[in-house]
Amino acid sequence: MPDPTPTRDPSTLRSARWWAPDDQRSFGHRSRLKQMGFNTEDFQAKPTIGILNTWSEVNNCHTHFRDRAEEVKRGVWQAGGFPLEIPVMSLSESFMKPTSMYYRNLLALEVEETLKCYPIDGAVLMGGCDKTVPALIMGATSANIPSIFLPAGPMLKGCWRGETLGSGTDMWKYWAERQAGNLCEDSWSELEDGIARSPGHCMTMGTASTMTAIAEVLGLCLPGSTSIPAVHSTHARMASQCGRQIVELAWDKVRPRDLLTEDAFHNAIVTDMALGGSTNAIIHLIAMAGRAGVSLTLDQFDEISQQVQVIANIRPCGEHVMEDFYDAGGILGLLSQVKEHLRLDAPTVSGKTLGENLEGAEVFDEDVIRPLSRPVGKAGGTFVLRGNLAPDGAVIKPTAAEERLLSHRGPAVVFSDYADLKDRIHDESLGLTADHVIVLQNAGPIGAPGIPEWGMLPIPDYLLKQGVRDMLRISDARMSGTSYGACVLHVAPESAIGGPLALVQDGDFIEVSVAERKLHLDVSDEVLEERRSQWKPRPKRFQRGYGRLYADEITQAPEGCDFRFLHQGEDDDEPDIF
């Protein structure tokens, strides 16, 4: 909890160790601030606010962040703080390979060390594009320096010939039509022009919309801020409010671990389920909780999914996009519908509790944000499956799948890695039917590496032409939150370390029953034991550098895919200044 006796004594500021002493080292610090054009009055006896900006020319979702950083600075100056903008690594979901997830922990580490090594009393974390959200929060939580999260906001809706287009979701949909021969080249090119039309993150309920909403419910954002479209003037005003508020948080020493309690994570899971959020949220929430010293298990997600139904009618589970969600009441409107499931006393950066933030929240369009009595899905967004194929668990998003596949038994067709899948999936001689189960191995945290978003495995062209649009697909990969289909993901332990997924062979029967939470490989224990004795791991891909660090330290999906060494205890985290 925040310090019960907050003080405005400047000598208690962390930055005072850099700026205040009458010694040679501080002379150097102050003279170098003056080199940058600052006067003593600009920084003396004021909280120094680090604005951690993930703007980059390779990050399409953050193109407005240069302007937003200026708006944050305006707020910081107004509230009597001293702002310093600091660029940190930008994880661009669109362009980073093999996947931005591979670099989430690297940004988290950079954020932690940046906050620790500089004279920062409070931080504004500017993120939105997928993995930037958990990475910034994980780093700030480990550094435990007062922080507020400034969400990028969703981009405006896309449009093609009068039809709304949703990020990712409609790309997959129309790609299937193109593969089926139903869409000409001109139409495909028009779709490319119309699907992403403004700054901001993906505007479906992908990982970005899910994780920013979760950041808000965890107490790290201004109330209602995460639903505001990126280009609205409200978004610019929210940015300067973030600047004003972080100065207060810095004086009052309100730190991330004061907010990120068990109650906050409970609220985050409730929100994830009500949103029909990205399956990625499970991995990120477990990792973020780990940094805050809170233990989350897959079973907690499954339990809450049985109590809280999907009520956000947003693609891919529903029909609308984030702009509609904002107009319908946004995240506060949604939370007002699931109040009975929330722990309303959880504190937030607004200085009020979550319950207080929800006072007066309303829903203005009950088709977009449904009441619990008329949900989009009968249960929560994500279910956890277990069985001899995934002893440590796997996840599925039933609301985004065809009903017939939620209880299904079919023969497996196995691909040993993504290159193999790409080579053979459209080969008619495989003779796949809509009842086959497509299995991809070596796509997990170590196998791929980086547990990429490959889990919405492609359906063979010849089946698309027959009208097939969903099949049961199983992998140790993730999938984009904008994706859909009967995709069983995050199978753990992963195949690259000898998990049972590595032992599946063509023709084995696999059974999934979502109602029973079952994922079963119909092969006897004796045969599996025999196959296990023959199994050999692939040679290590990286002998040096980040790849080696990653392979040595990464945990499995149910543990959050964090680095083991970043979970260990608390350090003496203040640097020496000599």
Dihedral angle of Cα 412, 97, 298, 334, to the nearest 10 degrees: -110
Contact between 484 and 172 under an 8 Å Cβ cutoff? The reply is yes
DSSP-assigned beta bridge partners for residue 314: 320
The secondary structure of 397-414 as a DSSP string is -GGGS-GGGGEEEEEEEE
CB of 201 to ligand FES, least distance (A): 4
User: Is there binding between residue 214 and ligand FES (CB under 6 A)?
Assistant: no
SS3 content of the chain, % helix, strand, coil (to 5): 40, 15, 45
Name the residue nearer to ligand FES (CB basis): 174 or 251.
174
Q: 167 to 196, contacts with ligand FES by CB under 6 A?
A: 167
Q: Which of 29, 201, 244, 436 binds ligand FES (CB under 6 A)?
A: 201
CB of 326 to ligand FES, least distance (A): 16
Q: Which of 71, 85, 112, 130 binds ligand FES (CB under 6 A)?
A: 130
User: Is there binding between residue 155 and ligand FES (CB under 6 A)?
Assistant: no
Name the segment binding ligand FES (CB under 6 A); options: 199-207, 314-322, 375-383, 453-461. 199-207
User: Is there binding between residue 101 and ligand FES (CB under 6 A)?
Assistant: no
Could you tell me the two tokens for 544? 């040096």
CB of 128 to ligand FES, least distance (A): 7
Name the segment binding ligand FES (CB under 6 A); options: 202-210, 256-264, 439-447, 470-478. 202-210
Name the residue nearer to ligand FES (CB basis): 195 or 504.
195
DSSP-assigned beta bridge partners for residue 383: 396
Name the residue nearer to ligand FES (CB basis): 235 or 408.
235
User: Is there binding between residue 208 and ligand FES (CB under 6 A)?
Assistant: yes
Of 203, 215, 67, nearest to 127 by C-alpha is 215
Q: Tell me the three state secondary structure of residue 542.
A: coil
CB of 64 to ligand FES, least distance (A): 13
Contact between 440 and 415 under an 8 Å Cβ cutoff? The reply is yes
Name the residue nearer to ligand FES (CB basis): 81 or 206.
206
User: Is there binding between residue 93 and ligand FES (CB under 6 A)?
Assistant: yes
Name the residue nearer to ligand FES (CB basis): 128 or 381.
128
CB of 340 to ligand FES, least distance (A): 31
Taking CB atoms within 8 Å and a gap of at least 24, the contacts of 170-174 are 170/195, 170/315, 171/195, 171/482, 172/456, 172/482, 172/483, 172/484
Q: 394 to 433, contacts with ligand FES by CB under 6 A?
A: none
CB of 230 to ligand FES, least distance (A): 11
CB of 116 to ligand FES, least distance (A): 28
Whole-angstrom CA distances from 514 to 383, 412, 492, 568 are 8, 18, 17, 36
Query: Burial code of 490-500, b = ≥16 C-beta within 10 A, e = fewer?
Result: bbbbbbbeebb
Residues 6+ apart with CB under 8 A from 105: 135, 138, 550, 554, 561, 562, 563, 566
Crossing angle of helices 298-305 and 262-275, in 10° steps, is 50
User: Is there binding between residue 202 and ligand FES (CB under 6 A)?
Assistant: yes
Q: How far apart, in Å, do the first and last CA atoms of the chain sit?
A: 32
CB of 164 to ligand FES, least distance (A): 17
Rounded Cα gap, residues 358 and 383, in angstroms: 28
Name the residue nearer to ligand FES (CB basis): 350 or 480.
480
Q: Which of 7, 94, 189, 407 binds ligand FES (CB under 6 A)?
A: 94
CB of 104 to ligand FES, least distance (A): 13
The residue assigned the tokens 């709304």 is: 164
487-492 and 390-396 strand pairing = antiparallel
CB of 126 to ligand FES, least distance (A): 14
* Omega cis (within 30) before 98: yes
Name the residue nearer to ligand FES (CB basis): 61 or 492.
61
User: Is there binding between residue 129 and ligand FES (CB under 6 A)?
Assistant: yes
Residue count, binding to ligand FES (CB under 6 A) = 10
Q: Tell me the three state secondary structure of residue 575.
A: coil
Crossing angle of helices 207-217 and 132-143, in 10° steps, is 30
Q: 328 to 387, contacts with ligand FES by CB under 6 A?
A: none
Name the segment binding ligand FES (CB under 6 A); options: 200-208, 483-491, 519-527, 547-555. 200-208
CB of 3 to ligand FES, least distance (A): 36
Name the residue nearer to ligand FES (CB basis): 100 or 348.
100
Contact between 384 and 296 under an 8 Å Cβ cutoff? The reply is no
What secondary structure letter does DSSP report for 431?
A: -
- What is the pattern of x (binds ligand FES, CB under 6 A) and - over residues 494-533? ----------------------------------------
Q: Where are the alpha helices (DSSP H) in 144-261?
A: 169-179, 185-194, 207-217, 233-252, 256-259
How far does Cα 123 stand from its chain's mean position?
20
Name the residue nearer to ligand FES (CB basis): 129 or 308.
129
User: Is there binding between residue 89 and ligand FES (CB under 6 A)?
Assistant: no
CB of 285 to ligand FES, least distance (A): 18
Name the residue nearer to ligand FES (CB basis): 94 or 505.
94
Name the residue nearer to ligand FES (CB basis): 114 or 483.
483
CB of 211 to ligand FES, least distance (A): 9
Name the residue nearer to ligand FES (CB basis): 129 or 557.
129
Name the segment binding ligand FES (CB under 6 A); options: 44-52, 106-114, 201-209, 300-308. 201-209
Could you tell me the two tokens for 396? 């599925």
Segment holding 521, helix H or strand E:
strand 518-521
Q: 50 to 79, contacts with ligand FES by CB under 6 A?
A: 61
CB of 296 to ligand FES, least distance (A): 23
Residues at the contact surface with ligand FES, assessed by CB under 6 A: 61, 93-94, 129-130, 167, 201-202, 206, 208
